[in-house]
Amino acid sequence: MSEREAYEVVPKEEDFSRWFDEVIFKAEILDERYPVKGMYVWLPYGYELMENIMNIMERLLRQTGHKRVYFPSIVPESVLSREFRFIKGFQDSVFWVTRLGRQEIEEKLALRPTSEAIMYEVLSRWINSYRDLPIRIYQIAPIYRYETKATRPMLRVREVAFFKEGHSFHATYEEAVEQVNLEVWIYKSFYDELLIPYIVVKTMPWDTFPGALYNYDIVTIMPDGKALELGSAINFGDLFAKTYELRYMDEKGEKRNVNTTSFGISERSLAAVIAIHGDDRGLRLPPKIAPIQVVIVPIPTKDYEERIMDYCREVRSVLSRDFRAHLDDSDERPGYKFYKWEMKGVPIRVEIGKKELENRELTIFRRDKMERMTTPFEGVTKFIDELLRDIERVLAEQAWSYFKQRIYHARNLEELIENVKTKVVSFAWCGKEECGHEVEEKGGYGLIGYEEGALEGKGERCIICGEEAKHRCWIGRSY
Judged by beta carbon, residue 125 or residue 321, the one nearer a copy of itself is 125
Q: Interacting stretch for a copy of itself, rule CB under 8 A, among 45-53, 185-193, 199-207, 394-402?
A: 45-53
Q: How far is the CB of 113 from a copy of itself (least distance, A)?
A: 10
Sheet holding 325-327, edge to edge: 325-327, 294-298, 348-352, 361-366, 371-376
Q: How far is the CB of 100 from a copy of itself (least distance, A)?
A: 4
| Contact assessment for residue 333 and residue 300, using Cβ atoms and an 8 Å cutoff | no
Kind and range of the H or E run holding 7: none
Q: How far is the CB of 396 from a copy of itself (least distance, A)?
A: 29
**1, 5, 44, 251: which one contacts a copy of itself (CB under 8 A)?**
44
Q: How far is the CB of 70 from a copy of itself (least distance, A)?
A: 4
Q: How far is the CB of 257 from a copy of itself (least distance, A)?
A: 22
Q: Please state whether beta strands 30-31 and 41-42 pair in parallel, antiparallel, or not at all (unpaired).
A: antiparallel
Check binding of 42 to a copy of itself (CB under 8 A): yes
**10, 69, 454, 465: which one contacts a copy of itself (CB under 8 A)?**
69
Q: How far is the CB of 237 from a copy of itself (least distance, A)?
A: 24
d(CA 454, CA 81): 38
Judged by beta carbon, residue 136 or residue 471, the one nearer a copy of itself is 136
Q: How far is the CB of 122 from a copy of itself (least distance, A)?
A: 6
Q: How far is the CB of 81 from a copy of itself (least distance, A)?
A: 13
Helix axes 16-26, 268-277, angle to 10 degrees: 110
DSSP 8-state secondary structure symbol assigned to residue 279? B
In a 13 Å sphere around the CA of 342, the CA atoms on its Cβ side amount to: 23
Task: Compute the C-alpha angle 196/197/202, nearest 5°.
Answer: 120
DSSP 8-state secondary structure symbol assigned to residue 301? -
**24, 61, 87, 137: which one contacts a copy of itself (CB under 8 A)?**
137
**24, 29, 143, 161: which one contacts a copy of itself (CB under 8 A)?**
161
Q: Interacting stretch for a copy of itself, rule CB under 8 A, among 64-72, 268-276, 359-367, 444-452?
A: 64-72
Number of chain residues interacting with a copy of itself (CB under 8 A)? 53
Judged by beta carbon, residue 61 or residue 475, the one nearer a copy of itself is 61
Other CB atoms within 10 Å distance of the CB of residue 392? 17
Q: How far is the CB of 251 from a copy of itself (least distance, A)?
A: 14
DSSP 8-state secondary structure symbol assigned to residue 126? H
Subset of residues 405 to 464 that bind a copy of itself, contact rule: CB under 8 A: none
DSSP 8-state secondary structure symbol assigned to residue 150? P
Short-list 344, 357, 378, CA closest to 311:
357
Judged by beta carbon, residue 77 or residue 418, the one nearer a copy of itself is 77
| Contact assessment for residue 135 and residue 120, using Cβ atoms and an 8 Å cutoff | no
Q: How far is the CB of 137 from a copy of itself (least distance, A)?
A: 7
End-to-end CA distance of the chain: 35
Burial of 101 (0-12, 13-18, 19+ CB in 10 A): exposed
Judged by beta carbon, residue 126 or residue 206, the one nearer a copy of itself is 126
Short-list 149, 159, 123, CA closest to 41:
159
Subset of residues 71 to 100 that bind a copy of itself, contact rule: CB under 8 A: 71-76, 78-79, 91-100
Check binding of 36 to a copy of itself (CB under 8 A): yes
Q: How far is the CB of 102 from a copy of itself (least distance, A)?
A: 6
Judged by beta carbon, residue 44 or residue 253, the one nearer a copy of itself is 44
Give me the DSSP letters along 341-381.
HHHTT-SEEEEE-HHHHHHTEEEEEETTTTEEEEEESTTHH
Judged by beta carbon, residue 70 or residue 306, the one nearer a copy of itself is 70
Judged by beta carbon, residue 14 or residue 331, the one nearer a copy of itself is 331
| Contact assessment for residue 242 and residue 223, using Cβ atoms and an 8 Å cutoff | no
d(CA 325, CA 315): 9
Q: Interacting stretch for a copy of itself, rule CB under 8 A, among 136-144, 233-241, 251-259, 352-360?
A: 136-144
Q: How far is the CB of 400 from a copy of itself (least distance, A)?
A: 31
Judged by beta carbon, residue 39 or residue 407, the one nearer a copy of itself is 39
**14, 70, 255, 459: which one contacts a copy of itself (CB under 8 A)?**
70
In a 13 Å sphere around the CA of 220, the CA atoms on its Cβ side amount to: 28
Give me the DSSP letters along 158-202.
SEETT-EEEEEEESSHHHHHHHHHHHHHHHHHHHHHTT---EEEE
Task: Compute the C-alpha angle 284/290/295, nearest 5°.
Answer: 85
Check binding of 47 to a copy of itself (CB under 8 A): yes
Subset of residues 106 to 125 that bind a copy of itself, contact rule: CB under 8 A: 108-109, 111, 118, 121-122, 125
Binding site for a copy of itself (CB under 8 A): 31, 33-36, 39-44, 47-48, 51, 67-76, 78-79, 91-102, 108-109, 111, 118, 121-122, 125-126, 137, 141-142, 144, 146, 159, 161
